[in-house]
Amino acid sequence: MSEPTFATLVSRWYSEHARDLPWRRPGVTPWAILVSEVMLQQTPVVRVVPAWEAWLARWPTPAALADDTPAEAIRMWGRLGYPRRAVRLRDCAVAIVERHAGAVPDRLDQLLALPGVGTYTARAVAAFAYGQRHPVVDTNVRRVVCRAIAGEPDAGPATRPADLVATEELLPVEPAAAALASAAFMELGAVLCVARSPRCDRCPVASVCAWRAAGSPPATGPSRRPQQYAGTDRQVRGLLLGVLRETTGPVPRHRLDQVWADDVQRSRALAGLVTDGLVEPVGEASFRLVGDGGPAAPAPALL
């Protein structure tokens, strides 16, 4: 009898040890899976779960979100971070309604054509919502494949075409089994084959891992430092959005001026929110979340 494949070993482990996440449960809609994939980008699972549940309770279908304003999407996004994702998700919902009669498409090319949907998200929805055979490659999957197959400690900062090819070669031919393997690879990288202090003693493929066989050599390139938050424009943007989310309609400039003492940095952060399509000016001295009311005024000089 032949030895089980890499995908089989990881899939067996996943079937026994996968975390019970709500978007993995039977009966979850393709829309709910799409929402989860957008929210999970650069945001920890523990923060996504309550936001995902609240989002779908309010907007259970793309049509429900498309009928609401971008401002409400930004409000509902709360403090998940990177709030442009909320606007892109609403734009995506509008496109699904206009192009696909409100149903999330199941073809990869149609998913890739949706606003804000890239290589990873399109393949994730195709695999996890529709059980298709596609390489679903995020940071965790790249790390697993790079270590276990190539014997390298780190896959680098960005997904390359070669990563898709290497991952696809590991997938079973049968679509449902391939979709399961894609989820399993991701889970392995998220909980065991982590960037720092991997738990190799619990790994289902430790015995066939090329990186382990090579002695688990450390990465030789520059280490990636965690992004700072305190004192950055990101923090100021968050404070400004916090005031605007809590208010319906225009907020006078003098109220926004109170959130941060540095005039230059505060104005730069506010200008960035306008440029990113999250905030719009109203009159000469007020601002609001985009789409939160009537027609917007031309953007005044902010610096």
Handedness of CA 260, 261, 267, 268 (dihedral sign): negative
**Identified catalytic residue from 3, 16, 37, 98:** 37
Kindly compute the dihedral angle of the four CA atoms of residues 12, 14, 17, 19, in this order, to the nearest 10 degrees. -160
* 137 DSSP β-pair partners: none
3-state secondary structure 61-77: CHHHHHCCCHHHHHHHH
16 labelled catalytic: no
**Residue tagged 């980008």 (tokens):** 41
From the list 161, 162, 167, 143, the residue with the least C-alpha distance to 219 is 143
Over the range 157-168, which residues count as b (16 or more CB within 10 Å of their CB) and which as e? eebeeebbebbb
* 281 DSSP β-pair partners: 287
* Residues assigned a catalytic role: 37
